[in-house]
Amino acid sequence: MTTAGVRATARIEARDDGRGGTSLPVLDGEGPLALRRVRSGGPEARVMLVGAMSGPLGGDRLAVEARVGPGARLRVGSAAATIALPGQAKGEARYDMRLDVADGGELWWLPEQLISAGGSDLSVSSRIELRGGARLVFREEQVLGRVGEEPGRLTSRLTVRRDGRTLLDQELACGPGAPGGWDGPAVLAGHRALGQLVVVKAEFEKDPPAARPLGEYAALTPLAGPAVLVTALAPDALLLRRVLDEALNELT
């Protein structure tokens, strides 16, 4: 921790243990990023990200790194929602996810919602590198403001690459200071919960799902690769999760 905010990185490495399961030779958290392995009844390893402190706050620099080796299966969740808050330190907070999945590896990244509280300023970046037949399920949910509260500024970028080829690279900015129109009919249309689901698996190479709407404010879009993107808007986090869960059940 410094006067400019907290610097912390959590690291996870998953490997095939050679006995039909997955080992975690690296499971290391710092500061507000605590990691806990939880019981799993199958071949996958399950890890829970536990917030040990409030944050991210203004000026914080937080990062989570996960590597999944060939044949390993990793599922990562979080114990509670992450709340971006204003802090004593001035300036933008950053929260970076760097995920790497080897050929034959599988990663399910299913954290709880990120809430942008009033007065906060957070930039989130998720960079995912896949190789060969890597499988991925990645869910991202964001809620703009707590109940009865205007949101803070939130900038979010998601990049997914497979064998060096970009499958998805998109950025969205919301809240005070964001480019005009972010709350208009062409972007959020007044909604305060937004999310996306990315599923990558080899089966989509030959038989990709067709593009279609999923209700009034959600859509499924095949990507240029064995991947599918689901984007959704909702008035609240509960309804958003319901839409994304239905899509996840269908796609996996």
Q: What is the pLDDT of residues 77-125, one digit of tens each?
A: 999 899 998 877 678 899 999 999 999 999 999 999 999 999 999 999 9
DSSP state letter for 242 = H
Cα dihedral 70/31/158/238 (nearest 10): 100
Q: Where do we find the tokens 């037949």?
A: 133
Beta bridge partners of 73: 106
In single-letter form, the type of residue at position 21 comes to: G
Q: Give the model's pLDDT for residue 225.
A: 83
- Of 40-44, 207-211, 240-244, give the lowest mean pLDDT range: 40-44
Cβ burial, residue 122 (10 Å; 0-12/13-18/19+): buried
The mean per-residue pLDDT over the stretch 205-233 comes to 93
Share of the chain above pLDDT 70, in %: 96
Query: Do 221 and 211 form a contact (C-beta atoms < 8 A)?
Result: yes
Query: Do 14 and 22 form a contact (C-beta atoms < 8 A)?
Result: yes
**Residue 1 confidence class, pLDDT cut points 50, 70, 90:** very low
Share of the chain above pLDDT 90, in %: 72
pLDDT of residue 6 exceeding 90: no
What phi and psi values does residue 86 have, to the nearest 5 degrees? -70, 145
Q: Give the model's pLDDT for residue 56.
A: 85
Beta bridge partners of 45: 74
Based on its alpha-carbon atoms, the radius of gyration of the chain, rounded to whole angstroms, reads 18
The mean per-residue pLDDT over the stretch 148-176 comes to 93
Query: Do 6 and 53 form a contact (C-beta atoms < 8 A)?
Result: yes
Which residues contact residue 17 at a Cβ distance below 8 angstroms, ignoring those fewer than 6 apart? Answer: 23
Query: Do 79 and 24 form a contact (C-beta atoms < 8 A)?
Result: no
The mean per-residue pLDDT over the stretch 213-223 comes to 93
The mean per-residue pLDDT over the stretch 63-78 comes to 97
Mean pLDDT (the chain, rounded): 91
- The residue that leads in pLDDT, 187 or 222, is 222
pLDDT of residue 52 exceeding 70: no
The CA distance from 238 to 225, in Å, is 31
Give the DSSP H/E element, type plus range, for residue 35.
strand 33-38
DSSP state letter for 30 = B
Q: How far is CA 192 from CA 139, 152, 220, 232, 248, in A?
A: 17, 12, 20, 11, 21
Q: Give the model's pLDDT for residue 51.
A: 77
**Residue 53 confidence class, pLDDT cut points 50, 70, 90:** low
**Residue 28 confidence class, pLDDT cut points 50, 70, 90:** very high
pLDDT of residue 50 exceeding 60: yes
Vertex 40 angle, CA 39 and 43, to 5°: 145
Q: Give the model's pLDDT for residue 54.
A: 65
What 3-state class would DSSP assign to 245? helix
